[in-house]
Amino acid sequence: MKKIAGVLLILVLAVSMLVGCGKKIDIGIAMPETHVERWVKDGNSLKAEAEKLGYKAAVQWANADQPTQNQQIQGFLTQGAKALIIGNINDGVGSAVADARREGAVVIAYDRIIQGTDDYEYYITFNNYKVGTLQGQSIVDGLDLAAATSAAPKFITLFAGSPTDANANFFFQGAMDVLLPYIDRGVLRVVGPFPRHYSDAAFQQIATENWQAPVAKARMEALLIGAARTVTLDAVLAPNDTLARAILEACKADSKYQAKLPVTSGQDAEFDSAMSIKNGEQYSTVFKDTAKLAEAAALLADQLIKGLEVDIPGTVLAEGDLEEIGFTGTGYVKTLLLDPILVTKDNLQVPVEAGFYTEAQAEQLQ
């Protein structure tokens, strides 16, 4: 009896291993996290787009943990993936990229550049520097800085994204290139740490490890009873929607901001932030049509797998001033860029009309 049970167990294990690892795939999609809403959509859209092109695709999310993502990538390679589309967490992904090279799989860095190696095919993303300039411009407009004077300056505090994500550098620098002239004229004053450039030491103080909302909220709370205790903040440079809402939550708990919240930027056009903008809380977001990014990335994988000449409608090659976006620290990778769009209360219908939300959500945004 025991023997039969043992044999059965081995059979069950063998079958489940076959089902689990044996399933062949063409394209492996490795996404970084689910705590920022967009990545759930990105993963699902990428899989759907790859399947539309006739490929077998699999998607996994890594909970902002690079060793987990590397294991997931190994899994894709074991399943025979010919192409990998990777939204990485940090440069620890390099060893998995090297394995993919050895196996002959095409590697595409998706949205976030893979740093520390340039030994992969392509990087596809939005113009991340422009994302930052749009964030900065929305603060200039929201505060009417053109009319501000140094006798009655406006006060801002600065937040940045994850120090492990090169996108965070471009978002910050784009914003600062717009804001610095006002700061230097004394019409805008920075409260709290003030890096002028992402390479300044103070950048580490405003950065938010792994884009975690509780980290940004705690820093804002500390700021409100610390450096910002004696002023009323007019604006907050927030790098994305998840962090913007966390920062605004901290402000809402402070009696000073009951009547008026700081003009706060964002990014991703998350539904909750779109609602917040509609309700006059968050000031702006940057809409990146990730459905288009996913469509473009799947087509790129298709052309690379087939060895065709790359030609992706709706993208431009990062050249000239934009070439830096494709710098990995070791060299340049070919980089394709899509265009981001600034969204405020005035044009909230842009992402709605692009079909970015579910019907029920779109209705709430009317």
Q: Of 160-168, 192-200, 331-339, 349-357, which part binds ligand BGC (CB under 6 A)?
A: 160-168
Rounded to 5 degrees, what are φ and ψ at 258?
Answer: -65, -40
Cβ atoms 310, 255 nearer than 8 A: no
Query: Per rule CB under 6 A, is residue 130 in the interface with ligand BGC?
Result: no
Is the CB of 80 or the CB of 314 nearer to ligand BGC? 314
Is the CB of 25 or the CB of 244 nearer to ligand BGC? 244
Biggest alpha carbon distance in the chain?
A: 90
- Long-range CB pairs of 347-355 (<8 Å, 24+ gap) are 348/274, 348/277, 348/278, 350/287, 351/269, 351/274, 351/287, 351/289, 352/274, 354/287, 354/289, 354/291, 355/291
Q: Which residues contact 290 (CB under 8 A, 6 or more apart)?
A: 38, 41, 42, 45
Cβ atoms 60, 31 nearer than 8 A: yes
Q: Of 46-54, 159-167, 224-232, 246-254, which part binds ligand BGC (CB under 6 A)?
A: 159-167
Do the strands 57-61 and 188-190 form a parallel or antiparallel pair, or are they unpaired? unpaired
Is the CB of 128 or the CB of 137 nearer to ligand BGC? 128
Output the smallest distance, CB 266 to ligand BGC, in A. 9
Judged by CB under 6 A, the residue of 164, 167, 276, 315 near ligand BGC is 167
Is the CB of 179 or the CB of 216 nearer to ligand BGC? 216
Binding to ligand BGC by CB under 6 A, coded x per residue (else -) over 101-120, reads: ----------xx--------
Output the smallest distance, CB 38 to ligand BGC, in A. 6
Query: Per rule CB under 6 A, is residue 270 in the interface with ligand BGC?
Result: no
Cβ atoms 32, 87 nearer than 8 A: yes
The three-point CA angle 289-293-294 to 5° equals 115
State the Cα–Cα distance between residues 205 and 93, nearest whole angstrom. Answer: 25
Q: How many CB atoms lie within 10 A of CB 112?
A: 22
Q: How many CB atoms lie within 10 A of CB 169?
A: 22
Rounded to 5 degrees, what are φ and ψ at 152?
Answer: -130, 70
| DSSP type of residue 166 | H
Query: Per rule CB under 6 A, is residue 267 in the interface with ligand BGC?
Result: yes
Q: Of 161-169, 185-193, 311-319, 340-348, which part binds ligand BGC (CB under 6 A)?
A: 161-169
Is the CB of 51 or the CB of 272 nearer to ligand BGC? 272
Is the CB of 33 or the CB of 302 nearer to ligand BGC? 33
Output the smallest distance, CB 255 to ligand BGC, in A. 30
Rg for the chain, CA atoms, rounded? 22
Is the CB of 97 or the CB of 188 nearer to ligand BGC? 97
- DSSP for 314-352, written as a single string: T-EE--GGGGGGGB-SSSB-EEEEE--EEE-GGGTHHHH
Query: Per rule CB under 6 A, is residue 165 in the interface with ligand BGC?
Result: yes
Is the CB of 72 or the CB of 210 nearer to ligand BGC? 210
Query: Per rule CB under 6 A, is residue 217 in the interface with ligand BGC?
Result: no
Output the smallest distance, CB 181 to ligand BGC, in A. 26
Output the smallest distance, CB 296 to ligand BGC, in A. 15
Query: Per rule CB under 6 A, is residue 289 in the interface with ligand BGC?
Result: no
Which whole-number Å values give the CA distances from 155 to 137, 191, 270, 287, in the listed order?
16, 7, 26, 26
Query: Per rule CB under 6 A, is residue 211 in the interface with ligand BGC?
Result: yes
Is the CB of 168 or the CB of 224 nearer to ligand BGC? 168
Is the CB of 173 or the CB of 267 nearer to ligand BGC? 267
Output the smallest distance, CB 268 to ligand BGC, in A. 5
Residues near ligand BGC (CB under 6 A): 36, 38, 111-112, 161, 165, 167, 211, 240, 267-268
